[in-house]
Amino acid sequence: MRLVFAGTPDFAVPSLRVAAARGEVVAVYTQPDRPAGRGRGLAASPVKQEAMRLGLPVRQPDRLRGADARDALRALQPDLLVVVAYGLLLPSRILDIPAFGCWNVHASLLPRWRGAAPIQRAIEAGDAETGVCLMQMEKGLDTGPVLLSLATPIGERETGGQLHARLAELGAQVLGDGLALLRAGMRPAPRPQPEQGVTYAHKLDKTEARLDWTQPAELLARKVRAFDPWPVAEADVAGERLRIHGAIALPLAHSAAPGTLLFAGRDGIDVACGEGALRIRALQRAGGKVITAADYLNARRELRDTSAAQPAGAG
């Protein structure tokens, strides 16, 4: 079975390994090398690095539009194109080239969370469950019929980075299941997505990482988890801008204004929210490393004496 694989970030790497183990990968498409790091030198994508390690041919076009792109793909005579977080749009003329079309590994239980950031949006929304889908691609954004899916619960303390890593492996598993069926002559039956329950996972924006203390503590705690490791939630606490890496919501009844510092001690730093309070447990000062709230308070001992009197954004 001749496969072409298209992917870019580390999320796609486990699926590339499975594709290489289950079929003949005749080409790996990935985005062009990009400047990265302090030196801004060109860096290969995680998928390119893994493809080179596996000895697979790599292609890095800027786009997949035009007759040249179609001719290049058609010359490979692919049975199937596997797409996992590639990052480039595939025109319908490209989708029609492989004998079995194009399969996509998507990190949600479609039709919930179509789009760019399904993992983070699921945590932010408080979903109890998520999963992966193997989808037959069509022209619309994540609208194609689902071939196979696997569900998994979202842990109460699970961050976006942790769930991302788990779903990458789960995605490889569902792809492997699909490829095994195809090799056995049992092509997975496409199941159209229901029209009800459609939601969109809009791309993350760094501006939304700023916590709004007027919002409920439960929502802010979910944002902290969802936005770790990027863009990382941040807030003004006792006159200092901090990046928040760990926090829990407290069902605390209070009459303090949102943003008021309620308590600071070895268990954390409690800040009043629109509903309840957010207990900050891990944080990062500008230019510093991630530390516990207790370590932070060793440097700011004056906050330990604070008791529901100081607005969190004040000096």
Q: Which residues are annotated as a binding site for (6S)-5,6,7,8-tetrahydrofolate?
A: 108-111
CA separation, residue 185 to residues 21, 177, 181 (Å): 18, 13, 6
CA distance 32 to 43: 9
Query: From the annotation, which residues make up the binding site?
Result: 108-111
CA-to-CA separations, 299 to 215, 285, 304, in angstroms, rounded: 29, 11, 11
Q: Do 144 and 138 touch, CB atoms closer than 8 A?
A: yes
Measured distance CA(181)–CA(178) in Å, rounded: 5
Measured CA to CA in angstroms, residue 73 lies from 65, 86, 97, 165, 213 at distances of: 11, 15, 8, 30, 51
Q: Tokens standing for 196? A: 């009800």
Structure tokens, 86: 């590639």
